[in-house]
Amino acid sequence: MRRLLALSVLLVIASCDDVNVHILSGQLYEPQAACLDPSTGIDVVNGGSTGDNCAPQCLSVTSGDATSTYVTTVCPPYPGDYTVEAEDATTGAGDPCTGAFAAYDSADAECPPTLGEGGPDDAGDAAADAGTGDAPSDAVDAAGDTGASE
């Protein structure tokens, strides 16, 4: 029994080795709105942290038919599936990094939060949002009944 306990303790200690990874964070570029989402984790990278105070880099990654473009100040190295482009290496209007860097350099180009993400709503349009006077009928429509007791 004592050997089994010692073996269990040894296995637990061996499985708790120091994990040597860090989070690659960046801001997703939204080309339709020409803005950047707030910074978020975009990948887990093997190796210790390299710092997050490097010159901005544009990272593009393709998954299926969609390409995502990010701006990051996390220092390299980056995972191999990202195309990396410095600000002075953009190739013109067709390059998504051109727009991403323009948004990064603009003081007011952070995308506004959406209501689905817990963003603020302008209370000034509450009457329009409520559909003045039709809330009871909307509740009935949504419930599929009249709400009368049976």
Q: Domain for residue 9, yes or no?
A: no
In the predicted model, residues of the chain with pLDDT beneath 70 are 1-18, 115-150
Q: Domain for residue 48, yes or no?
A: yes
Q: What is the pLDDT of residue 116?
A: 47
d(CA 69, CA 27): 8
Q: What is the pLDDT of residue 147?
A: 47
Q: Domain for residue 148, yes or no?
A: no
**HEC profile of 18-79:** CCCEEEEEEEEEECCCCEECCCEEEEEEECCCCCCCCCCEEEEEEECCEEEEEEECCCCCCC
Q: What is the pLDDT of residues 33-76, one digit of tens each?
A: 999 999 999 999 999 998 999 999 999 999 999 999 999 999 99
Which residues constitute the domain of residue 59?
20-117
Q: Domain for residue 147, yes or no?
A: no
d(CA 138, CA 65): 39
Q: Domain for residue 126, yes or no?
A: no
Q: What is the pLDDT of residue 89?
A: 92
Q: What are phi and psi of 8, to 5 degrees?
A: -60, -45
The SS3 call for residue 126 is: helix
Q: Domain for residue 128, yes or no?
A: no
Q: What is the pLDDT of residue 12?
A: 44
What's the structural domain count of the chain? Answer: 1
User: What is the four-CA torsion angle of 40, 42, 48, 54, rounded to 10 degrees?
Assistant: -70
Residue 20's closest CA among 50, 41, 57, 54?
A: 50
Q: Domain for residue 35, yes or no?
A: yes
Q: Domain for residue 6, yes or no?
A: no
